[in-house]
Amino acid sequence: MVTESEITEVLRTINDPEMPISIVDLGIIGSVSVAGAECPGAGTIVKIDVLPTFVGCAALPMIESMIRQKLAQLPDVTSVEVNFKYSPAWTVDRISPAGRESLRHFGVTVPHLRTALGNEAAIETLTCPFCGSENVELESSFGPTRCRMIYHCLRCKNPFEHLKRLNLPVC
Amino acid sequence: MPHDDSIPERDKKPLAELLLSIADDKLILGHRNADWTGLAPILEEDIAYSSLAQDEIAHASAFFDLAARLLKTTADRLAYGRAATDYRCAELVEFSDEFDWALALARSFYCDHFDRARLARLARSKYRPLAELSSRLAAEEQIHVDHVDSWIHRLGHGGAEAHERMQNALDRLGDLAQTLFETNDSIRECERLGYYPGDEQSIYDTWLEGLRTVAQKAGLSVNVPVPDSNRQGGRRGHHGAGFAALIDELTEVYRIEPEAAW
């Protein structure tokens, strides 16, 4: 039977439809589970929980179909179930270090990781993903997708995007 | 109250009606916001109002999904397949601003603050899927509140004409703003059963105080009559004069081929 880590490796080859980052690095894979079908020998059932970045994000149907398509190619997988979950909520802190790096190359910055308690109050310093300058200004709190906003670097004059951090209630 | 995923059969109808009143508010407000795509006074607001519209319609679709599960139908049928009198939205969301920027902002100001307060109530629902969704949406709604608050501030301090037009818009929509708080038998039933904890009066005070704090800093005032608890308006299917035409426009494509897959 195919293992959960093998499934995760396949998911790693699927990119977000709008940014060059794998859905695993983006942190939207909540859980992966594998179970044998009820009748022995009838194959494997894979269940994937996906945590949307924003509720009802327009890219979700596409992500779901890519997951189904890729996983259906694995030997023995007879059924793929994709569920969208809002708990636990996705946050920018779920993006992996490698994911942050590939987004930066693409011109999208990610808010600093919130690790230590009390860090919430820390002022977010933003640096331009192209020249590293901190001399940047907000151009628009809304951007090309619902999860991004637009900044402008006053030094290298490039526009860039920044992912929004939602202030989620602590559950 | 403990969270619960299973709903007794008799509770399904009132809960679905509550969900529809929320989804309808968001769908129609999203439709109105989308009017500004390509026409907002500055490019950033073109992007903003288009994003706000996308947000509201996405939020609506999540509530329609929950309602569809209870009513054993689909979100599309609920959103586009009903008669105008079956919609349960408040009259404020259907108000046409006729491309007056101050009126659009006043409508957003009243609606977005209300939505945030309503989502906070829903986040305490004993119906777990509703509580989880609402808690997540409250964080997204905050973006709307921050956006409109910054405009209230900007226009309140934006010179005599901007100030006057913003104040006039807030005054003109004050009466309609109380329609957000209209309730109906199903909503009351959900309050009683713990699906929608608290009551409209309890959020009215917080809502009004929140609006006044923002308005005062902008040198503006907010005057909204205390909601009439016997009101017979949108939440009971009695909509404004232009509503049937709005639904006609909104559902035009759907009606050509209702069961088409998109």
Domain limits of chain A? 4-84, 99-163
Residue B1 maps to a domain: no
Residue B158 maps to a domain: yes
Per-residue model confidence as pLDDT tens digits over B249-260: 999 999 999 988
Helices (H), chain A: 4-11, 60-72, 97-106
Strands (E), chain B: none
Residue B224 maps to a domain: yes
Total domains present in chain B: 1
Name the residue range of residue B121's domain. Answer: 10-256
Nearest by CB: B51 against A89, A146, A167: A146
DSSP code at position B233: S
Residue B94 maps to a domain: yes
Q: Do A55 and B147 touch (CB under 8 A)?
A: no
Tokens of B157: 């301090």
Q: How far is B231 from chain A (nearest CA, A)?
A: 33
Q: Do A141 and B48 touch (CB under 8 A)?
A: yes
CATH number for the domain spanning B75: value is 1.20.1260.10
Cβ pair B91, B177 in contact under 8 A? no
Tokens of B94: 């259907």
Q: What is the mean pLDDT of residues B12-22?
A: 97
Q: Do A146 and B137 touch (CB under 8 A)?
A: no
Rounded Cα distance between A33 and A15, Å, is 20
Average pLDDT over chain B, rounded to an integer: 94
Per-residue pLDDT, A115:
62
Could you give the percent of chain A with pLDDT greater than 90? Answer: 74
Per-residue model confidence as pLDDT tens digits over A17-36: 999 999 999 999 999 999 88
Per-residue model confidence as pLDDT tens digits over A3-12: 999 999 999 9
Residues present in chain B in total: 262
Cβ pair B85, B239 in contact under 8 A? yes
Entry pTM:
0.92
Interface test with B, best of A57, A60, A86 (most B CBs within 10 A): A86
Per-residue pLDDT, A118:
54
Average pLDDT over chain A, rounded to an integer: 90
Per-residue model confidence as pLDDT tens digits over A32-76: 999 887 777 778 999 999 999 999 888 999 999 999 999 999 988
Tokens of A131: 């020249």
Residues of B in contact with A146 (CB under 8 A): 51, 54-55, 58
- The number of beta carbons lying within 10 Å of the beta carbon of residue B161 is 9
Residues of A in contact with B135 (CB under 8 A): 86-87, 89, 168-169, 171
Residues of B in contact with A141 (CB under 8 A): 48, 143, 146-147
- The number of beta carbons lying within 10 Å of the beta carbon of residue B207 is 22
Per-residue model confidence as pLDDT tens digits over B46-97: 999 999 999 999 999 999 999 999 999 999 999 999 999 999 999 999 999 9
Q: Respond yes or no on whether the N-terminal peptide bond of residue A88 is cis (omega within 30° of 0).
A: yes
Which residues on neighbouring strands pair with residue A153, listed in sequence order? A136
Nearest by CB: B132 against A86, A146, A150: A86
Tokens of B30: 């999203």
Interface test with A, best of B133, B143, B262 (most A CBs within 10 A): B143
Rounded Cα distance between B80 and A20, Å, is 35
Q: Residues of A at the B interface (Cβ-Cβ below 8 Å)?
A: 54-58, 86-87, 89, 139-143, 146, 150, 164, 166-169, 171
Could you give the percent of chain B with pLDDT greater than 90? Answer: 92
Q: How far is A89 from chain B (nearest CA, A)?
A: 7
pLDDT band at B230 (very low <50, low <70, confident <90, very high): confident
Residue B216 maps to a domain: yes
pLDDT band at A171 (very low <50, low <70, confident <90, very high): very low
Backbone angles phi, psi at B14, to 5 degrees: -60, -40
Tell which CATH classification among 3.30.300.130, 3.90.1640.30, 1.20.1630.10, 3.40.50.1820 matches the domain A4-84.
3.30.300.130
